[in-house]
Chain A
Protein backbone atom coordinates (compact mmCIF):
# COMPACT_ATOMS: atom_id res chain seq x y z
CA UNK A 1 0.00 0.00 0.00
CA UNK A 2 1.17 3.55 -0.74
CA UNK A 3 0.30 6.08 1.94
CA UNK A 4 -0.06 9.71 0.90
CA UNK A 5 -0.08 12.49 3.51
CA UNK A 6 -1.71 15.80 2.61
CA UNK A 7 -1.69 18.07 5.63
CA UNK A 8 -3.40 20.98 3.89
CA UNK A 9 -5.71 19.68 1.15
CA UNK A 10 -7.93 21.91 -0.92
CA UNK A 11 -10.64 22.04 -3.47
CA UNK A 12 -9.24 23.56 -6.65
CA UNK A 13 -11.51 25.70 -8.79
CA UNK A 14 -10.05 26.24 -12.24
CA UNK A 15 -11.58 28.86 -14.51
CA UNK A 16 -10.77 28.98 -18.22
CA UNK A 17 -11.06 32.65 -19.16
CA UNK A 18 -9.55 33.50 -22.56
CA UNK A 19 -8.53 37.19 -22.53
CA UNK A 20 -8.82 37.52 -18.71
CA UNK A 21 -8.84 41.17 -17.60
CA UNK A 22 -8.22 42.55 -14.12
CA UNK A 23 -10.74 44.96 -12.58
CA UNK A 24 -13.70 44.09 -14.77
CA UNK A 25 -16.24 41.33 -15.46
CA UNK A 26 -14.91 38.15 -17.03
CA UNK A 27 -16.89 35.20 -18.40
CA UNK A 28 -15.46 31.75 -17.82
CA UNK A 29 -15.73 29.42 -20.79
CA UNK A 30 -15.27 26.45 -18.45
CA UNK A 31 -15.07 25.87 -14.70
CA UNK A 32 -13.53 22.73 -13.20
CA UNK A 33 -13.79 21.74 -9.55
CA UNK A 34 -11.30 19.10 -8.40
CA UNK A 35 -9.84 17.82 -5.14
CA UNK A 36 -6.41 19.37 -4.68
CA UNK A 37 -3.30 19.51 -2.58
CA UNK A 38 -0.10 17.89 -3.78
CA UNK A 39 -0.46 14.64 -1.86
CA UNK A 40 -4.03 14.21 -3.10
CA UNK A 41 -3.01 14.77 -6.73
CA UNK A 42 -0.23 12.18 -6.39
CA UNK A 43 -2.69 9.75 -4.77
CA UNK A 44 -5.18 10.20 -7.63
CA UNK A 45 -2.55 9.55 -10.28
CA UNK A 46 -1.08 6.51 -8.49
CA UNK A 47 -4.61 5.14 -8.21
CA UNK A 48 -5.06 5.55 -11.98
CA UNK A 49 -1.78 3.61 -12.39
CA UNK A 50 -3.29 0.72 -10.41
CA UNK A 51 -1.64 1.13 -7.00
CA UNK A 52 -3.39 0.44 -3.70
CA UNK A 53 -3.47 3.93 -2.16
CA UNK A 54 -4.54 5.21 1.26
CA UNK A 55 -4.87 9.00 1.44
CA UNK A 56 -4.60 10.66 4.83
CA UNK A 57 -4.15 14.17 6.20
CA UNK A 58 -6.46 16.77 7.67
CA UNK A 59 -9.95 17.41 6.34
CA UNK A 60 -12.25 20.16 7.51
CA UNK A 61 -15.88 20.83 6.80
CA UNK A 62 -17.47 21.72 3.47
CA UNK A 63 -14.85 21.24 0.75
CA UNK A 64 -13.06 18.69 2.97
CA UNK A 65 -16.02 16.33 2.62
CA UNK A 66 -16.04 16.75 -1.16
CA UNK A 67 -12.33 15.85 -1.30
CA UNK A 68 -12.92 12.61 0.64
CA UNK A 69 -16.06 11.70 -1.33
CA UNK A 70 -14.24 12.05 -4.67
CA UNK A 71 -11.24 10.04 -3.45
CA UNK A 72 -13.45 7.19 -2.27
CA UNK A 73 -15.54 7.26 -5.44
CA UNK A 74 -12.44 6.60 -7.54
CA UNK A 75 -11.36 3.75 -5.24
CA UNK A 76 -8.86 5.41 -2.90
CA UNK A 77 -9.16 4.52 0.79
CA UNK A 78 -9.30 7.57 3.05
CA UNK A 79 -8.23 8.10 6.64
CA UNK A 80 -8.41 11.83 7.27
CA UNK A 81 -8.26 13.48 10.67
CA UNK A 82 -11.32 15.73 10.97
CA UNK A 83 -10.90 19.44 11.71
CA UNK A 84 -13.34 22.01 13.05
CA UNK A 85 -12.46 24.59 10.36
CA UNK A 86 -13.31 24.60 6.68
CA UNK A 87 -10.92 23.05 4.15
CA UNK A 88 -9.53 25.74 1.83
CA UNK A 89 -10.51 26.44 -1.76
CA UNK A 90 -7.79 27.48 -4.21
CA UNK A 91 -8.47 29.27 -7.48
CA UNK A 92 -6.68 29.23 -10.82
CA UNK A 93 -7.45 31.31 -13.88
CA UNK A 94 -6.17 29.85 -17.11
CA UNK A 95 -5.94 32.42 -19.91
CA UNK A 96 -5.17 30.65 -23.17
CA UNK A 97 -4.89 33.96 -25.10
CA UNK A 98 -2.17 35.40 -22.87
CA UNK A 99 -0.70 31.97 -22.10
CA UNK A 100 -0.87 32.63 -18.36
CA UNK A 101 -2.06 30.85 -15.23
CA UNK A 102 -3.02 33.08 -12.28
CA UNK A 103 -3.40 31.32 -8.94
CA UNK A 104 -4.97 32.44 -5.66
CA UNK A 105 -4.29 30.30 -2.63
CA UNK A 106 -5.71 30.23 0.90
CA UNK A 107 -3.80 29.27 4.05
CA UNK A 108 -6.28 26.60 5.13
CA UNK A 109 -7.77 25.90 8.57
CA UNK A 110 -5.59 25.97 11.68
CA UNK A 111 -4.66 22.76 13.45
CA UNK A 112 -4.24 22.31 17.20
CA UNK A 113 -1.65 20.17 19.05
CA UNK A 114 -4.44 17.66 19.71
CA UNK A 115 -5.25 17.48 15.96
CA UNK A 116 -1.56 16.86 15.20
CA UNK A 117 -1.37 14.14 17.84
CA UNK A 118 -4.46 12.43 16.44
CA UNK A 119 -3.01 12.49 12.92
CA UNK A 120 0.35 11.19 14.12
CA UNK A 121 -1.32 8.23 15.79
CA UNK A 122 -3.34 7.39 12.67
CA UNK A 123 -0.13 7.65 10.63
CA UNK A 124 1.73 5.25 12.93
CA UNK A 125 -1.04 2.67 12.63
CA UNK A 126 -1.12 2.89 8.84
CA UNK A 127 2.67 2.75 8.50
CA UNK A 128 2.49 -0.91 9.44
CA UNK A 129 0.97 -1.74 6.03
CA UNK A 130 2.77 0.88 3.91
CA UNK A 131 5.57 0.15 1.44
CA UNK A 132 6.03 3.83 0.56
CA UNK A 133 4.95 7.14 2.10
CA UNK A 134 4.51 10.35 0.13
CA UNK A 135 4.33 13.62 2.06
CA UNK A 136 3.57 16.50 -0.23
CA UNK A 137 2.26 20.04 -0.09
CA UNK A 138 2.07 22.91 2.34
CA UNK A 139 1.62 22.87 6.10
CA UNK A 140 -1.58 24.23 7.62
CA UNK A 141 -1.34 27.06 10.16
CA UNK A 142 -0.40 25.54 13.52
CA UNK A 143 1.86 22.79 12.10
CA UNK A 144 5.61 23.28 12.32
CA UNK A 145 8.22 21.78 9.95
CA UNK A 146 9.41 19.63 12.89
CA UNK A 147 6.09 17.76 12.76
CA UNK A 148 6.71 16.77 9.17
CA UNK A 149 10.26 15.77 10.10
CA UNK A 150 8.84 13.52 12.81
CA UNK A 151 6.57 11.78 10.28
CA UNK A 152 9.61 11.11 8.08
CA UNK A 153 11.61 9.76 11.05
CA UNK A 154 8.80 7.42 12.11
CA UNK A 155 8.58 5.91 8.60
CA UNK A 156 12.34 5.61 8.08
CA UNK A 157 12.64 3.97 11.52
CA UNK A 158 10.18 1.30 10.34
CA UNK A 159 12.08 0.81 7.09
CA UNK A 160 9.41 2.51 4.96
CA UNK A 161 10.69 4.70 2.10
CA UNK A 162 9.51 8.32 2.11
CA UNK A 163 9.12 10.71 -0.82
CA UNK A 164 8.95 14.41 0.09
CA UNK A 165 7.69 17.26 -2.08
CA UNK A 166 7.55 20.23 0.27
CA UNK A 167 8.80 23.77 0.75
CA UNK A 168 12.31 24.72 1.84
CA UNK A 169 11.79 25.05 5.63
CA UNK A 170 10.01 21.72 5.85
CA UNK A 171 12.55 19.96 3.66
CA UNK A 172 15.43 21.38 5.70
CA UNK A 173 13.87 20.01 8.90
CA UNK A 174 13.16 16.58 7.39
CA UNK A 175 16.42 15.96 5.50
CA UNK A 176 18.39 14.69 8.52
CA UNK A 177 15.90 11.79 8.72
CA UNK A 178 17.17 10.65 5.27
CA UNK A 179 14.03 10.38 3.14
CA UNK A 180 14.25 8.21 0.02
CA UNK A 181 13.24 10.90 -2.48
CA UNK A 182 13.20 14.67 -2.08
CA UNK A 183 11.94 17.29 -4.43
CA UNK A 184 11.76 20.87 -3.19
CA UNK A 185 8.65 22.83 -4.08
CA UNK A 186 10.17 25.60 -6.24
CA UNK A 187 6.97 27.40 -7.19
CA UNK A 188 7.48 31.17 -6.87
CA UNK A 189 11.04 30.57 -5.66
CA UNK A 190 14.02 32.41 -7.16
CA UNK A 191 16.68 31.68 -4.56
CA UNK A 192 16.93 28.41 -2.64
CA UNK A 193 19.57 28.46 0.06
CA UNK A 194 22.36 30.37 -1.71
CA UNK A 195 21.46 29.05 -5.16
CA UNK A 196 19.77 31.02 -7.93
CA UNK A 197 17.32 28.37 -9.13
CA UNK A 198 16.32 30.46 -12.15
CA UNK A 199 19.66 29.36 -13.63
CA UNK A 200 20.71 25.85 -14.63
CA UNK A 201 23.94 26.10 -12.60
CA UNK A 202 22.04 27.03 -9.45
CA UNK A 203 19.69 24.10 -9.89
CA UNK A 204 22.61 21.70 -10.42
CA UNK A 205 24.26 22.89 -7.19
CA UNK A 206 20.97 22.50 -5.32
CA UNK A 207 20.24 18.98 -6.54
CA UNK A 208 23.79 17.87 -5.70
CA UNK A 209 23.47 19.35 -2.20
CA UNK A 210 20.16 17.55 -1.60
CA UNK A 211 21.67 14.27 -2.82
CA UNK A 212 23.94 14.21 0.23
CA UNK A 213 20.97 13.40 2.46
CA UNK A 214 18.66 11.47 0.19
CA UNK A 215 18.81 8.48 -2.11
CA UNK A 216 17.12 10.30 -4.97
CA UNK A 217 17.30 14.09 -5.22
CA UNK A 218 15.09 15.78 -7.81
CA UNK A 219 14.84 19.40 -8.92
CA UNK A 220 12.03 20.33 -11.27
CA UNK A 221 12.23 23.72 -12.92
CA UNK A 222 9.42 23.15 -15.40
CA UNK A 223 11.67 23.19 -18.43
CA UNK A 224 14.12 20.61 -17.08
CA UNK A 225 14.23 17.95 -14.42
CA UNK A 226 17.54 17.18 -12.66
CA UNK A 227 18.05 13.89 -10.90
CA UNK A 228 20.97 12.81 -8.70
CA UNK A 229 21.43 9.52 -6.88
CA UNK A 230 24.89 8.82 -5.48
CA UNK A 231 27.33 9.00 -8.39
CA UNK A 232 24.57 9.01 -11.02
CA UNK A 233 23.30 12.39 -12.24
CA UNK A 234 20.91 13.12 -15.10
CA UNK A 235 19.18 16.00 -16.82
CA UNK A 236 15.89 15.57 -18.67
CA UNK A 237 14.41 18.32 -20.80
CA UNK A 238 10.64 18.81 -20.45
CA UNK A 239 8.76 19.92 -23.57
CA UNK A 240 6.51 22.98 -23.13
CA UNK A 241 3.42 21.81 -21.25
CA UNK A 242 -0.23 22.68 -21.76
CA UNK A 243 -1.25 25.56 -19.46
CA UNK A 244 -3.33 23.27 -17.22
CA UNK A 245 -0.26 21.11 -16.63
CA UNK A 246 1.54 24.04 -15.02
CA UNK A 247 -0.89 24.07 -12.09
CA UNK A 248 0.27 20.67 -10.89
CA UNK A 249 3.78 20.70 -12.24
CA UNK A 250 5.35 18.35 -9.70
CA UNK A 251 2.54 15.98 -8.88
CA UNK A 252 2.51 13.80 -12.01
CA UNK A 253 6.32 13.79 -11.94
CA UNK A 254 6.37 12.43 -8.38
CA UNK A 255 3.67 9.84 -9.18
CA UNK A 256 5.51 8.66 -12.31
CA UNK A 257 8.80 8.39 -10.43
CA UNK A 258 7.25 6.52 -7.47
CA UNK A 259 5.52 4.12 -9.87
CA UNK A 260 8.86 3.36 -11.51
CA UNK A 261 10.79 3.19 -8.19
CA UNK A 262 8.35 0.63 -6.79
CA UNK A 263 8.79 -1.44 -9.96
CA UNK A 264 12.54 -1.38 -9.31
CA UNK A 265 13.45 0.99 -12.14
CA UNK A 266 17.03 2.24 -12.55
CA UNK A 267 17.64 5.90 -11.65
CA UNK A 268 17.57 7.13 -15.27
CA UNK A 269 14.39 5.14 -15.90
CA UNK A 270 12.73 6.62 -12.81
CA UNK A 271 13.46 10.11 -14.15
CA UNK A 272 12.35 9.25 -17.67
CA UNK A 273 9.02 7.81 -16.50
CA UNK A 274 8.42 10.74 -14.18
CA UNK A 275 8.86 13.23 -17.00
CA UNK A 276 6.75 11.08 -19.37
CA UNK A 277 3.98 11.12 -16.73
CA UNK A 278 4.24 14.92 -16.52
CA UNK A 279 3.88 15.31 -20.30
CA UNK A 280 1.00 12.85 -20.45
CA UNK A 281 -0.90 14.36 -17.52
CA UNK A 282 -0.49 17.92 -18.85
CA UNK A 283 -2.03 16.83 -22.15
CA UNK A 284 -5.05 15.18 -20.47
CA UNK A 285 -8.42 17.00 -20.50
CA UNK A 286 -8.15 17.98 -16.81
CA UNK A 287 -4.37 18.40 -16.78
CA UNK A 288 -4.34 16.01 -13.86
CA UNK A 289 -3.82 12.32 -14.61
CA UNK A 290 -2.36 9.98 -17.14
CA UNK A 291 -2.88 6.26 -17.63
CA UNK A 292 -0.04 3.79 -18.02
CA UNK A 293 -0.70 3.73 -21.79
CA UNK A 294 -0.54 7.55 -21.96
CA UNK A 295 2.80 7.49 -20.14
CA UNK A 296 4.19 4.77 -22.43
CA UNK A 297 3.18 6.89 -25.43
CA UNK A 298 5.21 9.83 -24.08
CA UNK A 299 8.36 7.90 -23.19
CA UNK A 300 9.93 8.59 -26.59
CA UNK A 301 9.52 12.32 -26.06
CA UNK A 302 11.94 12.23 -23.14
CA UNK A 303 15.68 12.44 -23.54
CA UNK A 304 17.84 11.56 -20.54
CA UNK A 305 21.34 13.07 -20.59
CA UNK A 306 24.13 12.56 -18.05
CA UNK A 307 24.59 15.69 -15.97
CA UNK A 308 28.05 17.16 -16.31
Chain B
Protein backbone atom coordinates (compact mmCIF):
# COMPACT_ATOMS: atom_id res chain seq x y z
CA UNK B 1 0.00 0.00 0.00
CA UNK B 2 1.13 3.53 -0.73
CA UNK B 3 0.52 5.55 2.42
CA UNK B 4 -0.65 8.64 0.59
CA UNK B 5 -3.90 10.53 1.10
CA UNK B 6 -3.82 12.70 -2.02
CA UNK B 7 -7.47 12.89 -3.06
CA UNK B 8 -10.00 14.90 -5.02
CA UNK B 9 -13.27 16.43 -3.89
CA UNK B 10 -16.54 16.52 -5.83
CA UNK B 11 -16.48 20.28 -6.36
CA UNK B 12 -13.03 20.30 -7.99
CA UNK B 13 -13.01 20.87 -11.74
CA UNK B 14 -11.77 18.23 -14.18
CA UNK B 15 -9.04 20.69 -15.13
CA UNK B 16 -7.80 20.76 -11.51
CA UNK B 17 -8.01 16.98 -11.33
CA UNK B 18 -5.92 16.55 -14.49
CA UNK B 19 -3.37 19.03 -13.13
CA UNK B 20 -3.06 16.93 -9.96
CA UNK B 21 -2.82 13.67 -11.98
CA UNK B 22 -0.04 15.21 -13.99
CA UNK B 23 1.93 16.61 -11.04
CA UNK B 24 1.59 13.49 -8.90
CA UNK B 25 2.09 11.15 -11.89
CA UNK B 26 -0.97 9.00 -11.19
CA UNK B 27 -3.73 7.78 -13.49
CA UNK B 28 -6.57 8.24 -11.01
CA UNK B 29 -7.39 9.35 -7.48
CA UNK B 30 -10.02 8.64 -4.82
CA UNK B 31 -12.66 11.29 -4.26
CA UNK B 32 -13.38 12.03 -0.59
CA UNK B 33 -15.95 14.00 1.41
CA UNK B 34 -15.11 16.42 4.22
CA UNK B 35 -14.77 13.50 6.66
CA UNK B 36 -12.08 11.94 4.43
CA UNK B 37 -14.49 9.11 3.53
CA UNK B 38 -14.10 7.66 0.02
CA UNK B 39 -17.21 8.47 -2.03
CA UNK B 40 -15.86 8.09 -5.55
CA UNK B 41 -12.92 7.54 -7.85
CA UNK B 42 -11.89 9.59 -10.86
CA UNK B 43 -9.57 8.09 -13.46
CA UNK B 44 -8.00 9.48 -16.61
CA UNK B 45 -10.51 7.32 -18.50
CA UNK B 46 -13.37 9.15 -16.77
CA UNK B 47 -11.88 12.48 -17.87
CA UNK B 48 -11.45 11.29 -21.46
CA UNK B 49 -15.03 9.98 -21.35
CA UNK B 50 -16.22 13.38 -20.21
CA UNK B 51 -14.48 15.16 -23.06
CA UNK B 52 -14.95 12.72 -25.95
CA UNK B 53 -18.31 12.44 -27.77
CA UNK B 54 -20.46 9.68 -26.32
CA UNK B 55 -22.04 8.45 -29.58
CA UNK B 56 -19.65 7.35 -32.27
CA UNK B 57 -19.25 4.22 -34.29
CA UNK B 58 -16.21 2.00 -34.73
CA UNK B 59 -14.94 4.10 -37.63
CA UNK B 60 -13.67 6.66 -35.14
CA UNK B 61 -14.37 10.31 -34.55
CA UNK B 62 -16.36 12.22 -37.15
CA UNK B 63 -15.06 15.58 -38.28
CA UNK B 64 -18.11 17.23 -36.70
CA UNK B 65 -17.15 15.71 -33.33
CA UNK B 66 -14.03 17.88 -33.10
CA UNK B 67 -16.18 20.94 -32.49
CA UNK B 68 -17.82 19.23 -29.52
CA UNK B 69 -14.45 17.99 -28.19
CA UNK B 70 -12.98 21.49 -28.39
CA UNK B 71 -16.03 22.92 -26.64
CA UNK B 72 -15.84 20.35 -23.83
CA UNK B 73 -12.10 20.86 -23.43
CA UNK B 74 -12.80 24.54 -23.02
CA UNK B 75 -15.42 23.69 -20.43
CA UNK B 76 -13.11 21.41 -18.43
CA UNK B 77 -12.69 24.05 -15.76
CA UNK B 78 -16.47 24.08 -15.30
CA UNK B 79 -17.04 20.30 -15.41
CA UNK B 80 -16.93 18.98 -11.86
CA UNK B 81 -15.28 15.82 -10.55
CA UNK B 82 -18.54 14.88 -8.81
CA UNK B 83 -20.38 14.64 -12.14
CA UNK B 84 -17.90 12.33 -13.82
CA UNK B 85 -16.41 10.20 -11.02
CA UNK B 86 -17.32 6.56 -10.46
CA UNK B 87 -19.57 6.57 -7.42
CA UNK B 88 -19.27 3.93 -4.68
CA UNK B 89 -15.94 2.65 -6.00
CA UNK B 90 -14.41 -0.67 -5.05
CA UNK B 91 -12.31 -0.20 -1.90
CA UNK B 92 -10.26 -2.60 0.22
CA UNK B 93 -9.19 -2.68 3.85
CA UNK B 94 -5.61 -2.84 5.10
CA UNK B 95 -5.87 -6.51 6.11
CA UNK B 96 -6.96 -7.79 2.68
CA UNK B 97 -4.77 -10.51 1.14
CA UNK B 98 -2.80 -10.11 -2.04
CA UNK B 99 -4.70 -12.70 -4.08
CA UNK B 100 -8.03 -10.95 -3.43
CA UNK B 101 -6.51 -7.61 -4.44
CA UNK B 102 -5.08 -9.15 -7.64
CA UNK B 103 -8.39 -10.81 -8.54
CA UNK B 104 -10.35 -7.63 -7.87
CA UNK B 105 -8.02 -5.58 -10.05
CA UNK B 106 -8.25 -8.07 -12.91
CA UNK B 107 -11.99 -8.73 -12.68
CA UNK B 108 -12.95 -5.07 -12.31
CA UNK B 109 -10.18 -3.81 -14.64
CA UNK B 110 -8.95 -1.39 -11.99
CA UNK B 111 -5.45 0.06 -11.80
CA UNK B 112 -5.75 1.58 -8.32
CA UNK B 113 -7.77 0.62 -5.26
CA UNK B 114 -8.38 3.02 -2.36
CA UNK B 115 -7.56 1.47 1.02
CA UNK B 116 -9.94 2.44 3.82
CA UNK B 117 -10.18 2.12 7.60
CA UNK B 118 -13.64 2.87 9.06
CA UNK B 119 -14.55 4.16 5.57
CA UNK B 120 -11.78 6.78 5.75
CA UNK B 121 -8.98 6.84 3.18
CA UNK B 122 -5.66 5.55 4.57
CA UNK B 123 -3.80 4.90 1.31
CA UNK B 124 -4.01 3.35 -2.14
CA UNK B 125 -2.78 0.14 -3.69
CA UNK B 126 -1.91 0.06 -7.37
CA UNK B 127 -0.91 -2.59 -9.89
CA UNK B 128 2.79 -1.82 -9.46
CA UNK B 129 2.53 -2.54 -5.72
CA UNK B 130 0.80 -5.83 -6.45
CA UNK B 131 3.39 -6.85 -9.07
CA UNK B 132 6.28 -5.96 -6.74
CA UNK B 133 4.76 -7.95 -3.90
CA UNK B 134 4.10 -10.93 -6.18
CA UNK B 135 7.74 -10.89 -7.32
CA UNK B 136 8.95 -10.69 -3.70
CA UNK B 137 6.77 -13.65 -2.73
CA UNK B 138 7.99 -15.66 -5.74
CA UNK B 139 11.62 -15.04 -4.77
CA UNK B 140 10.85 -16.18 -1.25
CA UNK B 141 9.46 -19.55 -2.48
A binds B: yes
Which residues of A line the B interface, CB within 8 A? 54, 61, 68, 72, 75-80, 82-84, 118, 121-122, 124-126, 128-129
* Min CB–CB distance A252 → chain B (angstroms): 23
Q: Are B123 and A129 in contact (CB under 8 A)?
A: no
Q: Are A128 and B3 in contact (CB under 8 A)?
A: no
Task: Specify which chain A residues have a CB less than 8 angstroms from the CB of B24 in the assembled complex.
Answer: 82
Task: Specify which chain A residues have a CB less than 8 angstroms from the CB of B36 in the assembled complex.
Answer: 125-126, 128-129
B:1-55 near A, CB below 8 Å: 2-6, 9, 16, 20, 23-24, 32, 34-36
Q: Are B122 and A77 in contact (CB under 8 A)?
A: yes
Q: Are A125 and B32 in contact (CB under 8 A)?
A: yes
Q: Are A79 and B5 in contact (CB under 8 A)?
A: yes
Task: Specify which chain A residues have a CB less than 8 angstroms from the CB of B72 in the assembled complex.
Answer: none
Task: Specify which chain B residues have a CB less than 8 angstroms from the CB of A68 in the assembled complex.
Answer: 4
Q: Are B4 and A129 in contact (CB under 8 A)?
A: no
- In the complex, how many residues of chain B place their beta carbon closer than 8 angstroms to a beta carbon of chain A? 17
List 17 interface pairs A-B (beta carbons < 8 Å), by A numbering: A54-B5, A68-B4, A76-B3, A77-B123, A78-B5, A78-B6, A79-B4, A80-B6, A82-B6, A82-B20, A82-B23, A82-B24, A125-B32, A125-B34, A126-B5, A128-B35, A129-B120
Question: How far apart are the CA atoms of A85 and B65 in the complex, in Å?
Answer: 36
Which residues of B line the A interface, CB within 8 A? 2-6, 9, 16, 20, 23-24, 32, 34-36, 120, 122-123
Task: Specify which chain B residues have a CB less than 8 angstroms from the CB of A80 in the assembled complex.
Answer: 6
Question: How far apart are the CA atoms of A79 and B8 in the complex, in Å?
Answer: 12
Task: Specify which chain A residues have a CB less than 8 angstroms from the CB of B23 in the assembled complex.
Answer: 61, 82-84
* Min CB–CB distance B118 → chain A (angstroms): 10
Among B2, B23, B34, max chain A CB count under 10 A is at B23
Task: Specify which chain A residues have a CB less than 8 angstroms from the CB of B2 in the assembled complex.
Answer: 72
Task: Specify which chain B residues have a CB less than 8 angstroms from the CB of A82 in the assembled complex.
Answer: 6, 20, 23-24
- Number of inter-chain CB pairs below 8 Å: 42
Task: Specify which chain B residues have a CB less than 8 angstroms from the CB of A78 in the assembled complex.
Answer: 3-6
Question: How far apart are the CA atoms of A76 and B6 in the complex, in Å?
Answer: 14
Q: Contacts A79-B6, A82-B24 known; list 14 others, CB within 8 Å.
A: A61-B23, A72-B2, A75-B3, A76-B3, A77-B5, A77-B123, A78-B5, A79-B4, A82-B20, A82-B23, A124-B34, A125-B32, A125-B34, A125-B36
Question: How far apart are the CA atoms of A72 and B123 in the complex, in Å?
Answer: 10
Task: Specify which chain A residues have a CB less than 8 angstroms from the CB of B35 in the assembled complex.
Answer: 125, 128
> Whose C-beta in chain B lies nearest to the C-beta of A60?
B23
Question: How far apart are the CA atoms of A82 and B24 in the complex, in Å?
Answer: 7
Task: Specify which chain B residues have a CB less than 8 angstroms from the CB of A84 in the assembled complex.
Answer: 23
Task: Specify which chain B residues have a CB less than 8 angstroms from the CB of A75 in the assembled complex.
Answer: 3
Which 3 residue pairs are nearest across A and B when measured between Cβ atoms?
Answer: A82-B23, A79-B5, A77-B3
Q: Are B5 and A121 in contact (CB under 8 A)?
A: no
* Min CB–CB distance A298 → chain B (angstroms): 30
Task: Specify which chain B residues have a CB less than 8 angstroms from the CB of A129 in the assembled complex.
Answer: 36, 120
Task: Specify which chain A residues have a CB less than 8 angstroms from the CB of B122 in the assembled complex.
Answer: 77
Q: Are A77 and B120 in contact (CB under 8 A)?
A: no
* Min CB–CB distance A183 → chain B (angstroms): 27
* Min CB–CB distance A129 → chain B (angstroms): 7
> Whose C-beta in chain B lies nearest to the C-beta of A84?
B23
Task: Specify which chain A residues have a CB less than 8 angstroms from the CB of B9 in the assembled complex.
Answer: 121
Task: Specify which chain B residues have a CB less than 8 angstroms from the CB of A72 in the assembled complex.
Answer: 2-4
Task: Specify which chain A residues have a CB less than 8 angstroms from the CB of B3 in the assembled complex.
Answer: 72, 75-78
* Min CB–CB distance A243 → chain B (angstroms): 33
Task: Specify which chain B residues have a CB less than 8 angstroms from the CB of A77 in the assembled complex.
Answer: 3-5, 122-123
Question: How far apart are the CA atoms of A122 and B8 in the complex, in Å?
Answer: 9
